[in-house]
Structures are given as structure tokens and as C-alpha cells.
Amino acid sequence: MNDVTIVGSVAFDDLEMPSGTFEDVLGGAATYASIAASLMARPRLVGVVGNDFGDEHLAMLKERGIDCAGLERANGKTFRWRGRYSKDLGSRETLDTQLNVFADFKPKLPATYTESPFVLLGNIHPALQLDVLAQVKGKTPKLIAADTMNLWIASEPKLLGELIEKIDLLVINDEEAKQLAGIDNIARAAAEIRRKYSLQHKDRPLRLIVKKGEHGALLFDDAGPFFAPAYPLEEVRDPTGAGDTFAGGVMGYLAHVGDASPLSLRRAIFHGSALGSFCVEDIGTRRLAAISKADYRARIEAFARFVDYGGDLWDKAGVD
Ligand code: AMP
């Protein structure tokens, strides 16, 4: 089993949903991503929590085989985010973000973490992502992926640019891709992002995954564009963390197979989507943390049937 080092927020979320308000829900990008990755690989979690972070949460993470040696406990309160969702859960607004112990966080990777062949730099300040990158560079990981958000694209374009030039895979949503490129057409935005940020590392051109929430995810790499849908669910309870779960699932699968070939990446996207579909079935990490191997296999098999068109579209059409 391969390791995947995952850095990002570990949080308490207050979620105002149409179904009710849920407070002190365990969340954070690195939490969702690590739990997702733990289904297939050994996540090594890098983050910070405060004295209010209960041992039951730590126990839950460790039970899933997540290495928490890089999860620092600092004096103060854990990062907190409050969001309100629209009636159809299709959009949300951030009501409050309290950095708390994150404000002074200086990630320090335990020695074992720096040897991980796969690294996921979750959505945090690009200076922190660069800091982690500096600690793993030179050890030549097989794949370094990063996520980011509109806030950093707008407020830290220079640092973010420096980061994207140094990674192998950028995982962002479609609005962020358009914002980053300054282009409204997603295919052109993707091409521009790949062109602009691949200049520094021509030997390992940047690959890009564009997440489209309930509408699936696109991959842009040298093999051409690829698309995988999201698995259709009749009931969605809480979309929080689905994007991070997706990224964790992608990295977990790559770590499991031990390579980052174009075909592995395409397959990894189905695993990310399958795990994302579990994530939204309940509040916070509840459903994700309860998935059995059998549930997982059943969802992957259902997914394979969902996208199965019998192969070779041209021959089946009977067109000469
Ligand atoms: P997602 O729904 O995939 O965008 O991820 C939601 C998670 O991101 C929540 O659990 C939040 O705690 C976390 N989060 C929200 N805002 C930030 C931020 N500015 N930096 C880091 N993590 C955040």
C-alpha cells in the first residue's frame, strides 16, 4: 500500500441546510480527502487542530489507518467555517471563516511523510502549499496535486502561479478554472492554464482536473480531454466536502496502483466520483467514515454499469 501525504484544513463546520442547522460538524478539506484516500492507500495527514479537537475525532481518523503524526495540536481553537446552502443545495454562501490555529500554522512534515510518492496539497494559503512542496521536492514524488479556491486566485495570484508551475496536477472547479484563465469557455480556459503554467516544466506538463459538482469532472492532459459523470443519486443531504473527497479518492486510487499514467488518472476519476457520491449522502463525514469495502465495490460496479456503452461506438453504429 502506497502513502499519500495530504495537507489542508481540519475544521469544525456549522452547516445551515434546508433540512436544519448542524453545528460543530467535523470537516475540513484534509479530513474529507484523507478519509476518502484511506479506502485505498495510507494517508499521512498534515494540518493543525486546537485544544477543542476531541480525541474521538482523532481516534476515528486513526481507525481508518490515517497517519496523524503530522497533525499538530496547537493552543487555541480549531479552524471553523460556517456556510448556508440554497434550497436545492445547488449553491452555498460562506457566512463566516475563523482561521484560529490556522493563522500561525507552519507545516512541518515528519521525515516519513517526505518520502510519500503521492502528495495532495489541499486548499490552503498558497504560501503554506509552497512550504510543504519545498519539504517534499528533491525526493521526486510520482505526482504532486493541488487544489485552490477563488479567494487565493484573486488575492495571491503570484504565489499561486509559482505553486502551479511546480505541481503535476491541478484540481479545481469550473468557476475557478475560468477565473484563473480569465476565459469563459472551459476548454479554452483549460488549454490556457496548461499552456501558461507548463512553461517551467516541459518534461512534466501540467494536467488539469475541472470539477463540475453534480455534473461530473473533466480531465485535460496530453491524452486529450476526458469526462466522467457524477453518480446520480436520488437523495443528497450535504454536498460539503464532496470536492475534497473527490481529490482524496483520485489520489488514493493513484497511490493504490502506484503510478500516474494517463489511463490510471482516468480510472482514478471514477473512484473520486464514487467516493464523492457517498460523501453527499449524509451530513459531514458521517457517510464517508462508515463505508465498508463491500459498499465501495458495489458503488464502483454500479458506476461501471452507469457509463458502459458496450465499447466501440463507431462499429456499433454500423456506419461504413
Ligand atoms: P468543499 O465543499 O469541497 O469546498 O469543502 C468544504 C470544506 O472546506 C469544509 O469542511 C470547510 O471546513 C473547508 N473550508 C472552507 N473554507 C476554507 C478555507 N478558506 N480554507 C481551507 N478550508 C476551507
252-305 pLDDT, tens digit each: 999 999 999 999 999 999 999 999 999 999 999 999 999 999 999 999 999 999
pLDDT at res. 202: 60
In angstroms and rounded to an integer, the radius of gyration of the C-alpha atoms of the chain is 19
Nearest CA to ligand 1 atom 18: 124
| Residue from 28, 36, 229 nearest 123 by CA | 28
pLDDT at res. 304: 96
- Long-range Cβ contacts of 61-69 (<8 Å, 24+ apart): 61/31, 61/34, 61/35, 64/34, 64/35, 64/38, 64/289, 65/38, 66/34, 66/35, 66/38, 66/42, 67/3, 67/42, 67/43, 67/112, 67/113, 69/44, 69/110, 69/112, 69/113
| Residue from 276, 271, 298 nearest 32 by CA | 276
Best residue for ligand 1 mutational test, from 7, 9, 32 (most atoms within 8 Å of Cβ) = 9
pLDDT grade, residue 183 (50/70/90)? very high
Q: If you measure from the C-alpha of residue 8 to the centroid of ligand 1, how many angstroms do you get, rounded to a whole number? A: 9
CA distance linking residue 280 with residue 170, whole number of Å: 23
Q: If you measure from the C-alpha of residue 312 to the centroid of ligand 1, how many angstroms do you get, rounded to a whole number? A: 40
Residue 212 has pLDDT above 70, yes or no: yes
Q: Which three cell numbers stand for residue 262?
A: 494517463
Task: Check pocket membership of 244 for ligand 1, CB cut-off 6 A.
Answer: yes
Task: Check pocket membership of 240 for ligand 1, CB cut-off 6 A.
Answer: yes
CA distance linking residue 251 with residue 271, whole number of Å: 9
Beta strands in the chain (DSSP E): 3-7, 11-17, 20-27, 42-49, 67-73, 79-85, 92-98, 118-121, 143-147, 169-173, 207-211, 217-220, 226-228
pLDDT at res. 318: 74
Task: Check pocket membership of 243 for ligand 1, CB cut-off 6 A.
Answer: yes
Best residue for ligand 1 mutational test, from 240, 279, 280, 283 (most atoms within 8 Å of Cβ) = 240
Q: If you measure from the C-alpha of residue 223 to the centroid of ligand 1, how many angstroms do you get, rounded to a whole number? A: 31
Percent of the chain residues topping a pLDDT of 90: 90
Q: Specify the pairing of strand 217-220 against strand 226-228.
A: antiparallel
List residues bridging with 227 in a β-sheet.
218
Q: If you measure from the C-alpha of residue 11 to the centroid of ligand 1, how many angstroms do you get, rounded to a whole number? A: 8
CA distance linking residue 10 with residue 31, whole number of Å: 6
**In Å, how far from its chain's centre is CA 75?**
27
Mean local confidence (pLDDT), 185-199: 94
CA distance linking residue 122 with residue 139, whole number of Å: 20
Centre a 10 Å sphere on the Cβ of residue 149 and count the other Cβ atoms it contains: 16
pLDDT grade, residue 201 (50/70/90)? low
CA distance linking residue 60 with residue 57, whole number of Å: 5
pLDDT grade, residue 198 (50/70/90)? confident
Q: If you measure from the C-alpha of residue 28 to the centroid of ligand 1, how many angstroms do you get, rounded to a whole number? A: 5
Average pLDDT of the chain is: 94
Q: Specify the pairing of strand 207-211 against strand 79-85.
A: unpaired
Task: Check pocket membership of 283 for ligand 1, CB cut-off 6 A.
Answer: no
List residues bridging with 207 in a β-sheet.
169
Which atom from ligand 1 is nearest to the alpha carbon of 239?
2
pTM, rounded to two decimals: 0.96
